Amino acid sequence: MFTYHRFTIGIMLSIGSVLLLMAAAVESKQDIVSVQLATVYDNQDIQSYLVSEKYDGIRAIWKNGELRTRKGNLIHAPGWFIQDLPDIWLDGELWYKRNDFEYVASTVSKHRAIDSEWRKIKYMVFDAPNTDAPFHLRAASYSALLHELDISHVVPVEQLRIDTNDALAGLLQSYTGNGAEGLMIHKADALFIRGRSNNLLKLKKHEDAEAVVLKHIQGKGKYSNSLGSMLVKYRNAQSKTIQFKIGTGFSDEERNNPPPIGSTVTFRYFGYTKGGVPKFASFMRIRNEL
């Protein structure tokens, strides 16, 4: 049995004070994709962090009146989807529901938005970046502002205070048992910094990584006329380049039309062998290039 209590706003913030708090968020367009990136949770003291669900969608940054991916590509959202978004920098995930990344990727990648598809998409906002406020104040600010604006498809992500690491494990089990991808763990007093750091952590029941496809290996038996496995190249946690095979996780369609040589794929794994090779590697998908 795990316990947690909700992160609440000690003092109700008015819209005016929220905007003042976030004024530092107005930056030039070339910085639009300068986002924070997560490292893997490694038993840090959870009392210093705020915890939220990890949403398996498309990262989306709202800034300077545009919605863009992490790579800086413009997202062609319908006008109604973005017209009421506030004039501040927001970071979040375009998301439909648990275990349906493919729907979001298909919808968001279209250069001509299909209104009926976008009606199912929500913008799950988990930060309002600026360089002057610690994360717990940024969380209070975006929560107050978005609740005040009350836009049905724009959802402020709830941040939780967790008392113990055992309680965190219980929360992970509860979320993933109901289909969630995992948890995000953000240091409460951390200022916004660009790039990867231990201020932002991810926690899942399995890890995932990316590798480059080097070779297709023909299958045997049932798969004698299709892909059996593929040889990939991967840089492990010790920055050593490893080559290994991935032979599971493919649908029949993917075995008949495998990821192209040279493409980057995402795979899941459960720890490493002594030689640094990912254990029980399983194909997930071709990396989304948005």
Q: Is 54 among the catalytic positions?
A: yes
Q: Give the C-alpha separation, 115 to 80, whole Å.
A: 9
- Is-contact 217 65, C-beta < 8 A? no
Dig out the tokens for 145 from the structure: 């502002």
Burial of 217 (0-12, 13-18, 19+ CB in 10 A): middle
Q: Give the C-alpha separation, 142 to 89, whole Å.
A: 10
Q: Give the C-alpha separation, 250 to 278, whole Å.
A: 17
Dig out the tokens for 96 from the structure: 């439909």
Burial of 94 (0-12, 13-18, 19+ CB in 10 A): buried
SS3 label, residue 54: strand
Q: Where are the beta strands (DSSP E) in the chain?
A: 4-6, 36-40, 49-54, 58-63, 66-68, 90-95, 122-127, 154-156, 160-162, 182-187, 195-203, 207-218, 227-235, 241-246, 264-269, 282-286
Q: Give the C-alpha separation, 228 to 217, whole Å.
A: 6
Burial of 168 (0-12, 13-18, 19+ CB in 10 A): buried
Catalytic residue (choose from 29, 54, 187, 240): 54
* Positions marked catalytic: 54
